[in-house]
Structure 1
Amino acid sequence: MPVIISGHQPNYLPWLGYFHKMMSCDLFVILDDVLLSRAEITKKNKIKGPEGARLLSVPLKRKRAFIKDTTIYNEISWCFNHWGSLETCYARSPYWKQYKELFYPIYHNREENLANLNLRLIEVIRSILGITTPLVRSSEHPEIQGSKGDLVISLCQHFQADIYLSGNGARAYNNEQAFERSGIRLVYQDFQHPVYPQLWGDFLPNLSAVDLIFNCGPNSRDYLTKQVIL
């Protein structure tokens, strides 16, 4: 059987497409030794409240650093504000009481490092979704070199992958000819965002995966269909 790998930065409370990609591969690489994006998407995401989409953003001390070295600005009470927003938005949801205790310690034990914070949340979410794909951090494998498309090819070669499952946003920099020369098949993610029961009016897509979890509980995985790659 061909070995399929994929990867992504350790984002904050990632959206469903992140976990769809994770469940569709044999190994998921946490790209934590790349620079924090100028758009800072690694530190923020949206949930849904009575007013619509609500942005949660983690304050940082220094914004141009490798993700693994990015520290959180804990001099303000952001974690209590985020927890308060989660409670306000989801206390009426069917599964808030069932899952809130899994998230509570993360928001009430101050974490200094952004990557570590995000990975703790990712582990909780993927456990609820029943995703068992192994995770590795790229920073633990310094022999992986390069940037953007070259970095992806390097990690594929390092982990002896046959197929790389890429997000569609990488089309801008993936060198498809380089993948072909390296003997690696490049496949783009085919994710169709599900519609599920949601609080607060009309359905909003592209929120953090916690929106699905608090609304649909143990049935959440049923809304994610693994991408079959032949």
Structure 2
Amino acid sequence: MNILIHPSYFPSISQFVAIAKAEKVTFEMDDNFQKQTNRNRMHIYSPNGIQLLNIPIKHTKEAHQKTKDVKIETAFDWQKQHFKSLEAAYRTSPFFEYFEDDLAPIFQKKHTFLMDLNFETMEFASKCLKLDFPYDETSEYFHEVIDKTDYRQLINGKKDNNSFGSYTQVFGDKHGFINNLSILDLLFNEGRYALDYLKSQELL
């Protein structure tokens, strides 16, 4: 199965379920940026329940800006805030320390473009999962896709209704299982079993 999917910020579990089952991945590079999607945000399981981590972006006067041209707003120290939030959420998880040394540099590097950061976070997650997959990138935008399975809708978390099997989460005894968070939640809790979990799940 060949799929078309968006690069995103530490993608949702549903996106990695799609990638784990794909024979080839094509990343959408020519879409217009849309606010309130996982292009620049992820959801994690904090001590208080679900928490949104949002990357601030530079706003332009253009009505439509391609996602690949979007620049990160560097006036805020969002990286420090995001890493502290991850520590608070996952410091006691089984595998946080195992991945921490490779994760921390992502939050110390100053990226100019959102897309570059998104690719780095996806490469980190893929490496941790030991999931090596061939991919290419689009060169123009097509509203309808006929030669690939179109999973671009997964970038919009509010419309992603996929429901997956439960696994042990750090604060699960407090708030119950929270479905389809960032791939980091699965990695920190399941470690080397994360890829088997992804391959065992089904998408709508």
TM range (shorter): 0.7 to 0.9
Query: Structure 1 residue 29 and structure 2 residue 26: aligned?
Result: yes
Amino acid across the alignment from 1:8:
I
Aligned length: 190
Q: Which runs of 5+ in 1 are unaligned?
A: 157-163, 171-190
Question: What residue in structure 1 maps to residue 108 of structure 2?
Answer: 108
Query: Structure 1 residue 147 and structure 2 residue 142: aligned?
Result: yes
The 5 A counterparts of 1:25-64 are 25-62=22-59, 64=64
Question: What residue in structure 2 maps to residue 194 of structure 1?
Answer: 165
SS in 1 for 2:199: coil
SS in 1 for 2:39: helix
Structure 1 residues 67, 97: closer, same or farther in 2, change over 3 A?
same
SS in 2 for 1:224: helix
1:18-44 residue CA offsets vs partner (Å, 9 max, x unmatched):
111112122111112211124343111
Query: Separation in 2 of the partners of 1:112 and 1:168?
Result: 24
The 5 A counterparts of 1:134-173 are 134-138=134-138, 142=139, 145-149=140-144, 152-153=145-146, 156=147, 164-167=148-151, 169=153
Check the 8 A contact 1:47/1:207 in 2, yes or no. Answer: yes
Question: What residue in structure 2 maps to residue 212 of structure 1?
Answer: 186
Aligned-residue offset at 1:227: 7.5
- Percent sequence identity is 25
Aligned-residue offset at 1:194: 2.3
Structure 1 residues 146, 222: closer, same or farther in 2, change over 3 A?
closer
SS in 2 for 1:105: helix
Question: What residue in structure 1 maps to residue 157 of structure 2?
Answer: none
Q: Output the aligned Cα RMSD.
A: 2.2
Aligned-residue offset at 1:75: 1.1
Q: Which runs of 5+ in 2 are unaligned?
A: 155-161
1:96-129 residue CA offsets vs partner (Å, 9 max, x unmatched):
1100111111100111110110110001111222
SS in 2 for 1:207: coil
Structure 1 residues 38, 77: closer, same or farther in 2, change over 3 A?
closer
Query: Separation in 2 of the partners of 1:225 and 1:166?
Result: 18
Question: What residue in structure 1 maps to residue 94 of structure 2?
Answer: 94
Check the 8 A contact 1:59/1:78 in 2, yes or no. Answer: yes
Structure 1 residues 168, 60: closer, same or farther in 2, change over 3 A?
closer
TM-score calculated relative to the size of structure 2: 0.85
Which structure has the bigger radius of gyration? 1
Check the 8 A contact 1:23/1:226 in 2, yes or no. Answer: no
Question: What residue in structure 2 maps to residue 178 of structure 1?
Answer: none
Question: What residue in structure 2 maps to residue 82 of structure 1?
Answer: 82
Amino acid across the alignment from 2:14:
G
Misfit runs of 4+, over 6 Å:
none
Amino acid across the alignment from 2:132:
T
